[in-house]
Structure 1
Amino acid sequence: MVKILMVAPYLGSVYGGTYKAFIELVKTVNNFEKVTVDIITTNANGSGKLDVILEEWIHESNYKIKYFSCFHKYDFIISFSLLKWIFQHINEYKLVHTNTVFAPQILFIHWICQFVKIPYLVTPHGMLEPWAMSYKAWKKKLYYLFFEKPALKKARLIQTLASSESKQLNLLGIKHSIVIPNGIHRREFETPIKPDVFYQHFPNTINKTLILFLGRIDPKKGLDLLAPAFAKAHKQFPQTHLIVAGPDSIGFMSKAHNYFANSGCLDAVTFTGMLTGQLKYAALAAASLYVAPSYSEGFSMSVLEGMASGLPCIITTGCNFPEAATAKAAHVVDINTDAIADALIECLSDPPKAKEMGDRARDFIFANYTWERAAKKLIDVYQTIIEGKPLPEDLTQSNEVFSL
């Protein structure tokens, strides 16, 4: 069995959808029994640490994972014990697959791969998108120019999550990328979930028309745009209520509250914190609309979940999902308050038409965005890299054309 080493600087659930995407992809790849993927990461978890066994393999359903202690502050994470382990064990693997960029921990691993001549594949998770690059811009530009870009150029391949992300990489001078988007498991959405559990936890939402935001409380998620947009829609449709569901990993919650307070609609907003498991699915069942007002995304897991739930979805161009617009499976709008508000009002004004879009969204996701589909493509990429062959044309084709 060919062994692959998957590396991430963090896997705490506080970091949002990236955690779920990472684990689900590894589990699905290992189900095919063509390669074996092991995971190493740190115990970083926002402002705290994960309560996990360190430096021992933990055997999960069909994969194993090893956590290492680290120093971390916000997104800066370094683990010397992990790097030491890499030096000692990297030759046990045929390929290293790293996740995220602008992380010194990952950069060091790329250098180690270069030194021992083991191929590596990189998944940036949207961190090279224009908005992400503009956040703390001068630091990132210098770091990218002198450290990140040379390491990316020496990678065997860059896995992007969206066609627009590959186009952005081309503009940055990185030409060797392949699109393998995130997915969902159909079985999790084929049987309707009742919303009762959500209402039990949040009884103030009963008999309201719920609009769901599902994501981290973070500057890039566009809550500053959503607040006035929702206020405008709520004024016209006073029975609406906004659910803001997500973890606050960087202490941004007070600013988020202020956005809605300043827009005069805080009383019609419920902040639930992070929702997981049946409570999350119950929230999706309770909602009438889903909204993602993001400035920038890699490829949002929550958008896929909203669409797979059959919800009419309003997402911005920053969500990197133009295919949804092409398929008429979502409202894909410009990144501004008026565009978001207009889409909300349009959906609320014509529920039957909105439901038709939600039904199209569900079929569209089921046909094109499953973990099984993503895993098969990734396995083909792994095997091609390990064998030292050029990637076949059918693997490098863009994901811009889909079936319904």
Structure 2
Amino acid sequence: MKILHIIPTANPSYGGPVEGIFRSCAALAVRYHQHQVVTLDHPSDPWVKDSPIPIIPLGTLPHDIRQRRKRLPWVHYGYTPKLIHWLKEHAPEHDVVVVNGLWNFATAAARWSLLSSNVRYFVYTHGMLDPWFRRTSPVKTFFKQVSWLFNEGPLLAGAAGVLFTCEEERMLAHNSFWPYRAKEVVVGYGTADVTGDKQTQIESFRTQLPALGSRKFLLFLSRIHPKKGCDLLIEAFANVVSDMPDLDLVMAGPDQIGWAEQLKAHAASLGLDERIHWPGMLNGDQKWGAFHGSEAFILPSHQENFGIVVVEALACSKPVLITKKVNIWREIADSGAGLIASDDQNGINSLLESFAKLSPTERRDMAAAARATFCQHFDINENIEKFIATVGSERKRAVSIDHAMHAR
């Protein structure tokens, strides 16, 4: 098959959707499927050149200019009208088109170019229909409902399938926007297994963060954002720090909204400035070294569609400490690969307190369960087969219908 992915950006800081495309395209390539990725990025954006797969960047403004003008609605939305023309010309050259994400101009361009065409397309919502957003951003929700009526709603209704990463995400989507019409398919999600030399990666990470030295640590690796529960984690760490004198906390990830300085100041006021470390965004060996070198991974998120970083921790045989707002929490709980709690202060306190009380044997058993859970549920080489079967079966059905019509 020849597959086209549409996504607003290939910037790694965009999170799981980008990482998922990178990993799935690599898995598709070894199965002799072709793929293209079109984005709203500018050709000069650094991640375009550094991307592990070819990117077709159609944006008109470089990243630094977009950042300075991001308060302008059309800049924030990614207004790029030439994407519509590009899709009308090139989308029919592909067997399948996959639209990744909602609420941006890439989605609007897909709606305008695909809905009235004969192109078979699918939509990955990537958790963007979670009702959590309605509760936390009622004003944005009003405007999203208006957009839904004219853009996202018709796009989903006309899709050959709306793809969900897990059953929890599919059920939550029903409480999103009205009217909701979709041919739902749970296809799973995952990432590639970790590669490289473990010790080299750990050394690369610790060299980049000399203040940590050889101390043990818990790892948070995600965006520094209120949605991720960073403030709850710092408070919880302060509450249990005396019970874990040999354990530091690493808060790794990009600070997209300028919140990190406030969090650092609060940590210092709690006497934790030497126990919490802020390396920024980690990539490559440094990222994998952080996973391998940690005692456990923690993500106290208020909303997490899937959590690629959680799966990456599992691949590295690390127990995961997460909330019930991470949509794959049931798989984690059922397999004993980590600890689960509510996404409030008491819940995050309990995660750290419960982990501190685990015996060495219990931690080893949990680490083994983490690796087994990754292999059973989240290895991309397993999940990509279901994706291929889903979009491939639709393609075969379409070919059969075309043949029948020609026979008439």
1:385 aligns with 2:386: no
Moved more, 259-268 or 11-20: 259-268
Q: 1:304 to 1:90 in 2, by over 3 A?
A: same
Shift of 1:366: 1.4
1:374 corresponds to: 383
Query: What is the root-mean-square deviation in Å for CA atoms of aligned residues?
Result: 2.6
Contact 1:153 1:174 in 2 (8 A): yes
1:40 corresponds to: 38
Amino acid at match of 1:359: A
2:364 aligned counterpart, secondary structure? helix
Amino acid at match of 1:177: E
TM-score w.r.t. length of structure 1: 0.86
Q: 1:82 to 1:262 in 2, by over 3 A?
A: farther
2:78 corresponds to: 77
1:121 aligns with 2:122: yes
Shift of 1:223: 0.5
Which of 134, 149, 155 is the equivalent residue of 2:153?
149
Moved more, 77-86 or 98-107: 77-86
Deviations 1:239-287 (A, max 9, x none): 2211011112333323433453454423311110111111111111221
TM-score w.r.t. length of structure 2: 0.85
Q: 1:358 to 1:379 in 2, by over 3 A?
A: same
Q: Structure 2: give runs of 5+ residues left out of the alignment.
A: 400-408
1:106 corresponds to: 107
Q: Structure 2: how far apart are the matches of 1:253 and 1:337?
A: 19
Q: Structure 2: how far apart are the matches of 1:141 and 1:150?
A: 17
Amino acid at match of 1:29: L
Q: 1:331 to 1:197 in 2, by over 3 A?
A: same
Q: Structure 2: how far apart are the matches of 1:356 and 1:296?
A: 28
Which of 208, 211, 217 is the equivalent residue of 2:215?
208
Q: Structure 2: how far apart are the matches of 1:190 and 1:351?
A: 28
Q: Structure 1: how far apart are the matches of 2:102 and 2:224?
A: 21
Q: Structure 1: how far apart are the matches of 2:302 and 2:266?
A: 16
Q: 1:140 to 1:259 in 2, by over 3 A?
A: farther
1:318 aligned counterpart, secondary structure? coil
Contact 1:76 1:103 in 2 (8 A): yes
Q: Structure 1: how far apart are the matches of 2:136 and 2:20?
A: 24
Shift of 1:79: 1.7
Q: 1:126 to 1:263 in 2, by over 3 A?
A: farther
Q: 1:377 to 1:193 in 2, by over 3 A?
A: farther
Percentage of identical aligned residues? 24
Shift of 1:325: 0.6
Contact 1:293 1:315 in 2 (8 A): yes
Q: Structure 1: how far apart are the matches of 2:169 and 2:85?
A: 33
Shift of 1:343: 1.9
1:43 aligned counterpart, secondary structure? coil
Q: Structure 2: how far apart are the matches of 1:198 and 1:64?
A: 28
Amino acid at match of 2:129: L
Which of 335, 346, 353 is the equivalent residue of 1:338?
346
Amino acid at match of 1:309: C
Q: 1:32 to 1:325 in 2, by over 3 A?
A: same
Q: Structure 2: how far apart are the matches of 1:212 and 1:162?
A: 25
Q: Structure 2: how far apart are the matches of 1:143 and 1:186?
A: 37
Shift of 1:92: 1.4
Contact 2:84 2:112 in 1 (8 A): no
Amino acid at match of 2:273: L
2:166 corresponds to: 162
Amino acid at match of 2:248: H
Q: Following superposition of structure 1 onto structure 2, how do residues 271-350 of structure 1 map, counting pairs within 5 Å?
A: 271-321=278-328, 322-350=330-358
Q: Structure 1: how far apart are the matches of 2:386 and 2:123?
A: 15
Amino acid at match of 1:38: Q
Deviations 1:70-121 (A, max 9, x none): 4552852222232221122222123211001111331221231111232221
2:2 corresponds to: 3
1:250 corresponds to: 257
Shift of 1:290: 1.0
Q: Structure 1: give runs of 5+ residues left out of the alignment.
A: 391-404
Contact 2:221 2:309 in 1 (8 A): yes
Contact 2:220 2:299 in 1 (8 A): yes
1:5 aligned counterpart, secondary structure? strand
Shift of 1:319: 1.1
1:295 aligned counterpart, secondary structure? coil
